[in-house]
């Protein structure tokens, strides 16, 4: 009895023209395609914003850390050996503090702080960034009493976004106390 009713129901649907026409199917597929394209575009935009945010944040946070560490080290420095003279500049800074010799150098795009006395080396930038154009300039006041170091560098993010990697130039001048 149930099977009979089911067959009659299907026959009635077929006679009444129930189902989808070709135009209805094409219209449905067109609307569905537009919806998929909009969602895909939105998703890629979200990923682009995330990559841009990550690369910008990495450069900004590494730059702040390096500048703060540099200021801390220079303020407690007792003497400088490189650059050797006032007005001298170069990619290496060497100074003494508390009987220990420290140096800032660049190696494979990383800023390295080395304690020559203890034989330790610390990388100051994260793995997300690379340093370039490092320059230390030794300055002094008019009486040549207070040494000051000007430090400039460029940080570039390793995370690539559509417009390229985030890059920022940093510069500071700090004097010893």
3-state SS, the chain, equals CHHHHHHHHHHHHHHCCCCCCHHHHHHHHHHHHHHHHHHHHHHHHHHHHHHHHHHHHHHHHHHHHHHHHHHHHHHHCCEEEECCCCCCEECCEEEEECCEEEEEEEECCEEEEEECCCCEEEECCCCCEEEEEEEEEEEECCCCCCEEEEEEEEEEEEEEECCEEEEEEEEEEEECC
Query: In the prediction, which pLDDT does 164 show?
Result: 77
Q: What region, left, alpha or beta, does residue 109 occupy, with left being phi > 0 and alpha being psi -120 to 50 degrees?
A: left
Q: Give CA–CA dist 91/57, Å, rounded.
A: 25
Terminal-residue alpha carbon distance, the chain: 101
Query: In the prediction, which pLDDT does 16 show?
Result: 59
Query: In the prediction, which pLDDT does 21 show?
Result: 84
- What pTM was computed for the model? 0.74
Query: In the prediction, which pLDDT does 5 show?
Result: 59
- The domain spans of the chain are 27-175
Query: In the prediction, which pLDDT does 147 show?
Result: 84
Each residue's pLDDT tens digit in the chain (177 positions)?
A: 555 555 666 666 556 556 678 898 899 999 999 999 999 999 988 988 888 888 888 899 999 999 999 999 999 998 888 888 888 999 999 999 988 999 999 999 999 999 988 889 999 999 989 999 999 999 986 666 678 999 999 999 988 777 777 899 999 999 877
Query: In the prediction, which pLDDT does 33 show?
Result: 96
Q: Which residues pair with 110 in a beta bridge?
A: 107
Query: In the prediction, which pLDDT does 8 show?
Result: 67
Closest CA to 138 of 101, 97, 173, 100: 173
């Amino acid at each position: 009895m149930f099977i009979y009713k089911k067959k009659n129901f299907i026959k009635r649907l077929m006679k009444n023209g129930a189902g989808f026409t070709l135009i209805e199917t094409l219209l449905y597929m067109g609307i569905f395609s537009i919806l998929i394209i909009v969602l895909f575009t939105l998703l890629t935009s979200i990923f682009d914003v995330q990559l841009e945010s990550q690369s910008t944040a990495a450069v900004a946070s590494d730059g702040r850390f390096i500048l703060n560490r540099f200021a801390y080290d220079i303020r407690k420095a007792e003497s400088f050996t490189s650059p050797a003279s006032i007005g001298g500049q170069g990619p290496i800074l060497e100074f003494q503090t508390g009987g220990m010799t420290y140096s800032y150098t660049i190696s494979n795009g990383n800023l390295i702080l080395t304690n020559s006395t203890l034989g330790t080396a610390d990388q100051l930038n994260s793995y997300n960034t690379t340093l370039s154009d490092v320059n230390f300039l030794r300055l002094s006041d008019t009486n040549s009493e207070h040494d000051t170091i000007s430090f400039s560098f460029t940080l570039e993010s390793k995370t690539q976004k559509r417009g390229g990697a985030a890059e920022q130039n940093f510069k500071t001048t700090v004097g010893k106390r």
